[in-house]
């Protein structure tokens, strides 16, 4: 079995957890640029991950606070998939990824950092996007600042 190490994620894992839900809180603040919200639709939204595995790491969530797919309506499920399709199109235009990891961690034991608000991850991938730095130096090199990535993607979501 191959192991994939991501030690740079410890900053997120060990950070103090605030009360409330980041998805509910960020979307209600109305400060989309500050919160890296790229797109809002009727039942869900697209937000950048501020602790990304790679540049362009996006998350898609319903507005409604729900923990599992079974808790969503058919319309909400369709919205999540429609926003996923839109995200892939925009990411491909802007970043020319060679592949994508798309998935959900449902439940804390499955790795969900925010287990009570379902969200889908999209991580762009490129050949050679992992190297020795995370393993040997406990450092992940992200070649683009979050603000730059936001500015690159935001016009494509309009």
Could you give the CA distance from residue 45 to residue 29 in angstroms, rounded to a whole number? 14
How many angstroms separate the Cα of 69 from the Cα of each of 52, 109, 120? Answer: 23, 16, 11
Could you give the CA distance from residue 91 to residue 10 in angstroms, rounded to a whole number? 26
Q: Is 119 a catalytic residue?
A: yes
146-153 vs 74-95: helix crossing angle, rounded to 10: 100
Place of tokens 């925009």: 90
The one catalytic residue among 57, 65, 117, 119: 119
Please identify every residue annotated as catalytic.
119
């Amino acid at each position: 079995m191959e192991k994939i190490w991501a030690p740079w994620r410890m900053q997120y894992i060990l950070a103090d957890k605030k009360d409330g839900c980041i998805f509910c809180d960020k979307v209600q603040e109305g400060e989309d640029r500050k919160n890296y919200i790229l797109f809002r639709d009727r039942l869900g939204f697209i937000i950048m991950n501020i602790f990304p595995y790679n540049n362009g790491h996006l998350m898609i969530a319903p507005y409604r606070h729900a923990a599992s797919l079974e808790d969503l309506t058919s319309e909400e499920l369709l919205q999540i998939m429609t926003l996923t399709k839109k995200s892939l199109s925009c990411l491909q235009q802007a970043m020319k990824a060679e592949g994508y990891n798309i998935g959900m961690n449902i439940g804390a034991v499955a790795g969900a950092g925010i287990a009570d608000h379902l969200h889908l991850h999209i991580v762009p991938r490129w050949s050679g996007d992992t190297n020795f730095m995370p393993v040997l130096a406990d450092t992940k090199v992200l070649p683009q600042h979050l603000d730059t990535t936001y500015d690159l993607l935001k016009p494509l979501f309009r």
